[in-house]
Amino acid sequence: MTAEIIDGKKLAENIKQEVKAAIEERVRQQLPVPGLATVLVGNNPASRTYVASKIKTTADLGIHSLSYELEENCPQDKLVSLIEELNQNQDIQGILVQLPLPDHLSEDRVMHTISPKKDVDGLHPYNAGLLTRKYSEPLFYPCTPSGIIHMIQSVCPDISGMDAAVIGRSSIVGMPTAMMLSRCNTTPTICHSQTRHLDEVCRESDIVVAAAGSPGLVRGEWIKPGAIVIDVGINHIPDKTSPRGYRLVGDVEFDEAVKRAGAISPVPGGVGPMTIAMLMANTLKAIEYR
């Protein structure tokens, strides 16, 4: 058996086209278009690439965008003041502060400062808290977990009753993904660096979401035949044959897992494009809270 490949690029393109059409319709009706502010602090090359890609996508879709670049040693108060200003800016509905921040800055304080109504990344503790409450809806679902759920449901719309392994418990990916999987009526097991018998948890799971940042962690033989496997990991592996000097791999041993899984997402071309598409969808939604 060879797994169906979950094409994140194609799914993301569909979502972006829907957002674009909705924005064109707003323009036709002379309604305000949403605005997204991106804030990049420091010189992390990967963060710079991600922000550039987000800015380009906003332009492609007709979303108004403002971008801010702050120096690596930017004081905490300066960043907080900028966010407070953006909270008041009527032309901006979404604020995205690219993570990770330089070590001297508190991500927690920054996340608390963003207005929950402009929290298009879905990481504010208010929205994160609502995600855990059975009868509540967060104002925004976080982008990468939303992309993951969308990808899973693209191959299996009803995952109710399934067992899921989520490898990683970060506030950005692992934990909210587990919460969203629970909302879809699966039974998630949250795994982390101290989990014993990770292989056994995976073997018993109908869905495996790997978000550890550890290349090849999930072995092909751990995959239950027919399972849905979403590989979130983005790992740079030195590769002299590549013009960039590296190649990107995920957390799953793809070549082996593809022979056992029912459906699997690749790296690159899987979760990455979905994260940006979901950010655009959240920015469109943010106009409702204007």
128 binds ligand NDP (CB under 6 A): no
Rounded-to-integer distance, Cα 196 and Cα 237, Å:
27
34 binds ligand NDP (CB under 6 A): no
- Tell the smallest beta-carbon distance from residue 286 to ligand NDP (Å): 20
> Which member of 205, 275, 282, 283 binds ligand NDP (CB under 6 A)?
275
218 SS3 class: strand
268 binds ligand NDP (CB under 6 A): no
H or E element at residue 182: helix 174-183
- Tell the smallest beta-carbon distance from residue 233 to ligand NDP (Å): 4
194 binds ligand NDP (CB under 6 A): yes
- Reading the block at residue 147, the tokens are 């992309």
Active site residues: 54, 98, 121
Nearer to ligand NDP, 210 or 287 (CB): 210
Rounded-to-integer distance, Cα 126 and Cα 119, Å:
10
> Which member of 42, 94, 262, 272 binds ligand NDP (CB under 6 A)?
272
Q: How many CB atoms lie within 10 A of CB 147?
A: 30
Nearer to ligand NDP, 39 or 191 (CB): 191
Per the DSSP assignment, residues forming a β-bridge with 96 are: 38
What x/- string results for residues 206 through 225 when contact with ligand NDP is judged by CB under 6 A? -----xxxx--x--------
User: Hey, which residues between 152 and 181 contact ligand NDP (CB under 6 A)?
Assistant: 167-170, 172-174
CA angle 15, 141, 81 (to 5 degrees): 105
Nearer to ligand NDP, 61 or 271 (CB): 271
What x/- string results for residues 81 through 100 when contact with ligand NDP is judged by CB under 6 A? --------------------
Rounded-to-integer distance, Cα 31 and Cα 24, Å:
10
- Tell the smallest beta-carbon distance from residue 148 to ligand NDP (Å): 9
Q: How far apart are the first and last CA of the chain?
A: 49
232 binds ligand NDP (CB under 6 A): yes
- Reading the block at residue 45, the tokens are 């090359």
Buried b (16+ CB within 10 A) or exposed e, 150-186: bbbebbeeebeebbbbbbbbeebbbbbbbbbbbebeb
Report yes or no: 4 and 62 within 8 Å, Cβ to Cβ: no
Q: Which residues bind ligand NDP (CB under 6 A)?
A: 144, 167-170, 172-174, 191-195, 198, 211-214, 217, 232-235, 271-272, 275
